């Protein structure tokens, strides 16, 4: 995974969002699901696009997830309608009917086949959608579509402190291509899908099967490599639309696909890091890098175990370099490791060498943990496997937010 991440970082990000690629428009507005803030978004391609998606592995799946999983199977889509403030989860047959009605209303408002409309929702679980508000909001959103996605990115937020957008522009086979995206997420963030709502777009042309391959690869090193609190949501979805408006032949394999995937990973990784940086109550963005594992998979498992340790996360919040908590987490991670071969570094400062604490570095280590962005490096010394995940610290504010989420 580290090699992919390194390659991805060579592609510079530019200002942009999900409407930045040619042929995409977006809108966001307040329709009445929330009391005041924007709560309804549309993302539309001017032509039918190839589509791929990844979804929550939670067995409790929201109605829009079930609806959109079925719709994505066709490999074609042209619009996405998203509401925030209500997850439409655990709402039974009525919830499925509401998701289908959202697609139908969007199709009517845009003059599209409703089968080309995808649906996503985020917010409180177990509450029926206020469909009267949505019925009035969708036509207004359709009339407000514009070639920029700022308002849409605002409208998909729940407890997010800021909107999350990213884009890259790159040359693929002599054709200028743009990849853009937006995401939301701050709590219930954990992998084994995508850990958030994310919407990625490109004006490159890719067949649906190739698009799925590129998205799967990009997700592995981005949305599936972050964690805030270890909770996988009922609504997690990441969708990727490719409308081909940049021109040029379809990207199917070779260097063109490798470069496209690197650009896609760059956008997805930036959005994923924003999600962690915005973690509920978070004050620090923390990268956990594991090398020397027997495989990439075991490196990822080890990194995730450390990243999800409440003791590690609270120590990071307090700026306490208690490396013993890291070793303890590694020891229960279920991966091959040997205490006497393990090193731990905070940034470039080695605090554990061959399983033993390095003398005289406690104060320097505490200083290293004062930074807003921290890298914890773990060297297992038994193989060539490597992985990196992102997490955040755990503060009292997380408890406050989630202790009053519905009140």
Residues annotated as catalytic (active site), given as ranges: 195
- Please tell me the distance from the alpha carbon of residue 100 to that of residue 374, in angstroms, as a whole number: 44
Under 8 Å between Cβ of 228 and 279:
yes
- Please tell me the distance from the alpha carbon of residue 387 to that of residue 385, in angstroms, as a whole number: 7
Cα 162 to chain centroid distance, Å, stands at 14
Owner of token pair 């956008």: 267
Under 8 Å between Cβ of 309 and 274:
no
User: What HEC string does the chain produce?
Assistant: CHHHHHHHCCCCEECCCCCCCCCEEEEEECCCCCCCCCCEEEEEEEEEEEEEEEECCCCCCCHHHHHHHHHHCCCEEEEEEEEEEECCCCCHHHHHHHHHHHHHHHHHHHCCCHHHEEEEEEEECCCCCCHHHHHHHHHHHHHCCECCCHHHHHHCCCCCCCCEEEEEEEEECCEEEEEEEEEECCCCCCCCCCCCEEEEEECCCCCHHHHHHHHHHHHHCCHHHECCCCCCCCCCEEEEEECCCCCCCCCCCHHHHHHHHHHHHHHHHHHHHHHHHCCCCCCCEEEEEEEEECCHHHHHHHHHHHHHCHHHHHHHHHCCCCHHHHHHHHHCCCCCCCHHHCEEEECCEEEEECCEECCCCHHHHHHHCCCCEEEEEEECCCCCEEEEEEEECCCHHHHHHHCCCCC
Q: Tokens standing for 34?
A: 């929330």
């Amino acid at each position: 995974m580290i090699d992919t991440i390194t390659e991805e970082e060579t592609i510079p990000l530019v200002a942009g969002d999900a409407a930045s690629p040619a042929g995409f428009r977006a809108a966001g507005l307040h329709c009445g699901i929330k009391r005041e803030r924007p709560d309804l978004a549309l993302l539309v391609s001017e032509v039918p696009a190839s589509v791929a998606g990844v979804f929550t592995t939670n067995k409790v799946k929201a109605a829009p997830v079930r609806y959109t999983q079925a719709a994505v199977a066709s490999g074609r889509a042209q619009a996405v309608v998203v509401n925030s403030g209500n997850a439409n989860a655990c709402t039974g047959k009525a919830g499925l009917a509401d998701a289908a009605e959202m697609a139908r209303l969007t199709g009517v408002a845009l003059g599209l086949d409703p089968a080309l409309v995808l649906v996503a929702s985020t917010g409180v679980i177990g509450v029926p959608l206020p469909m009267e508000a949505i019925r009035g909001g969708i036509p207004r959103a359709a009339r407000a579509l514009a070639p920029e996605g700022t308002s849409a990115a605002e409208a998909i937020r729940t407890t997010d402190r800021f909107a999350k957008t990213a884009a890259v522009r790159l040359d693929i086979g002599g054709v200028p291509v743009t990849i853009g995206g937006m995401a939301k997420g701050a709590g219930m963030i954990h992998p084994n899908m995508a850990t958030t709502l994310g919407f990625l777009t490109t004006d490159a042309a890719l067949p649906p099967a190739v698009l799925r391959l590129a998205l799967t690869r990009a997700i592995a090193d981005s949305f599936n490599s972050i964690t805030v609190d270890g909770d996988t949501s009922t609504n997690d979805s990441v969708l990727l639309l490719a409308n081909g408006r940049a021109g040029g032949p379809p990207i199917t394999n070779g260097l063109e696909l490798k470069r496209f995937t690197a650009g896609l990973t760059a956008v997805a990784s930036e959005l994923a890091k924003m999600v962690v940086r915005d973690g509920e109550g978070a004050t620090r963005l923390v990268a956990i890098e594991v090398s020397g594992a027997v495989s990439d998979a075991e490196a990822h498992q080890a990194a995730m175990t450390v990243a999800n340790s409440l003791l590690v996360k609270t120590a990071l919040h307090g700026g306490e370099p208690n490396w013993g908590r890291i070793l303890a987490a590694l020891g229960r991670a279920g991966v091959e490791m040997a205490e006497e071969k393990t090193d731990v570094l905070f940034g470039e400062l080695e605090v554990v060498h061959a399983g033993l604490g390095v003398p005289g570095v406690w104060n320097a280590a505490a200083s290293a943990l004062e930074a807003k962005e921290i890298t914890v490096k773990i060297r297992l010394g038994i193989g060539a496997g490597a992985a990196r995940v992102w997490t955040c610290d755990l503060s009292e504010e997380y408890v406050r937010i989630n202790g009053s989420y519905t009140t």
